[in-house]
Amino acid sequence: MTVFPSASRHPSVRSSLATRLGIVLLTLAISACGDSDPTPPTLSATSPVDAATEVPLNATLSATFDLAMEALSGTTFTLKQGATDVAGAVATSADGKTATFSPSSSLAASSVYTATITAGARSAEGANLAAARSWSFTTGVAADTTPPQVSATTPPAESAGVAINRTVSVTFNEAMDPLSLTSATFTVRQGSTLVPGSVVYGPGTSATFSPESTLATSALLTASVSTDVKDLNGNRLASAFTWSFTTGTSAAMGPAPVSLGTAGNYAILAKSGISTVPASLVTGDIGLGPAAASYLTGFSLVADATNVFASSPQIVGKAYAANYAVPTPSNLTTAVGNMEGAYTDAASRPTPDFLELGTGNIGGRTLAPGLYKWTSTVTLPSNVTLSGGANDVWIFQTTGDLNMSAAQRITLSGGAQAKNVFWQVAGRTTMGAGSHFEGILLCKTDVTLETGATMNGRILSQTQVALQKATLTQPPR
């Protein structure tokens, strides 16, 4: 009979068994970590939007996700007229975040359609949509044959001293075909030399060119969008759009700035109302949509002869509302869409440099450029300083409110500019009496400037804005 050595009597055997057991346990632990379920994707935007009316008969549908997706197909992105399937081609953008459905023939006039992203839609990481998502729209009676237009650029044309580590973006006046926006149709050149880079469409109606490396210093660069760029209804740009800018000699600190698109044309932009307790003073245009001019209260508005805009002794600029004459309604629709896209962009920036700083109380601090995030209300009970250069950027994200105490102020130092400070607020924003605020407010709900409050910036609110003998001055773009 063969006798095996007892493990208890031989240390080398015990050591070997322990080593093997350790390896098995480590493997199981690593496997368990690797088996954690990836985050399900979310449908973040659609075109047309739910309940849209007068949709063109040649419309292409789009669905935008918060994560890169596996290529969608005719089984995961469907369109029906009643119970009847509509034939079409499905395509997914290069970054995987947008899918389009192009009907094989024109849609029927004055008809209700329902689009669906099924639960079979899967992220690139292998997670399915938590549940199917559907939205409906009603067609009009005609096709869209109007070419899209470029409505804003970043950097603006003829800008100087642009940071060498920044992206280049272009905003359109309507939803675009994301598949038409590539590094071949949206280019940046230094002289005749093509700058290598990639292009991503979204959020909103903006496309962004990201250089592979930092831009050359003190260089004249020319960006161009070709006539191969199309809107979602298949209409191409009527002519190529080109603009130039000059870089500076240094990189900027902080995240890339948030592109405001045409929302940046307004000192105040809101969806449901803008009120004033006289006499407030706004330097810059104000816009309201989809609410009508009757929700611009306290301004003593006087409409111009064409009814395209109105004037007020409290506005150094013009007032626009959704029920004013053409082209104001469409301009406001685009601006509000850009405002919502800017909010989404600011809210979705990942990997903050500062998380829960001061548990939301930032009074008395000097804040460097960067991305800040809170999951609570942010308060400014005492003065705050933002210290940085002219191209540096601050983005403040909060899922709560933003409250600034009376008579306190934000001060910019070192050349910092209000146009590069973005406050993304999911709750309400209140600026106390006699306070002074700096930056661009991207607010999901209402904004109130109490008596005597002043602000150097813009208010972009998805509900309403109330001014109480307050002063607001828009910064340069």
Phi/psi at 228 (nearest 5 deg)?
A: -80, -5
Percentage of the residues of the chain whose pLDDT score is greater than 90: 86
Burial class (CB in 10 A: 0-12, 13-18, 19+), 217: exposed
Place of tokens 């057991």: 21
Burial 178-190 (b: 16+ CB within 10 A, else e): bbbbbbebbbbee
Express each pLDDT in 330-341 by its tens digit. 999 889 989 998
Tokens of 331: 């301009």
| Unique residue bearing structure tokens 């642009």 | 162
Nearest to 264 by CA among 244, 283, 285: 285
Tell me if 238 sits within 8 A of 227, measured CB to CB: yes
pLDDT tens digits, one per residue of 54-83: 999 999 999 999 899 999 999 999 999 999
User: For the chain, how far is it from start to end, CA to CA, in angstroms?
Assistant: 91
Strands 150-154 and 133-139, sheet pairing: unpaired
The separation between CA 290 and the C-alpha centre of its own chain, rounded to angstroms, equals 19
- The label of the residue with tokens 């004037």 reads 311
Span 334-381, pLDDT tens digits = 899 899 989 999 999 999 999 999 999 999 999 999 999 999 999 999
CA distances from 312 to 278, 297, 303, 309, 344 (A): 11, 11, 9, 10, 32
* pTM for the full predicted model: 0.85
What CA–CA distance (Å, rounded) separates 49 from 356?
Answer: 35
Query: Degrees (nearest 5) of the Cα angle 30, 31, 35?
Result: 120
158-187 pLDDT, tens per residue? 999 999 999 999 999 988 999 999 999 999
Instruction: Pick the range with the lowest mean pLDDT from 37-41, 221-225, 244-248.
Output: 37-41
**What is the C-alpha to C-alpha distance for residues 21 and 253, in angstroms, rounded to an integer?**
49
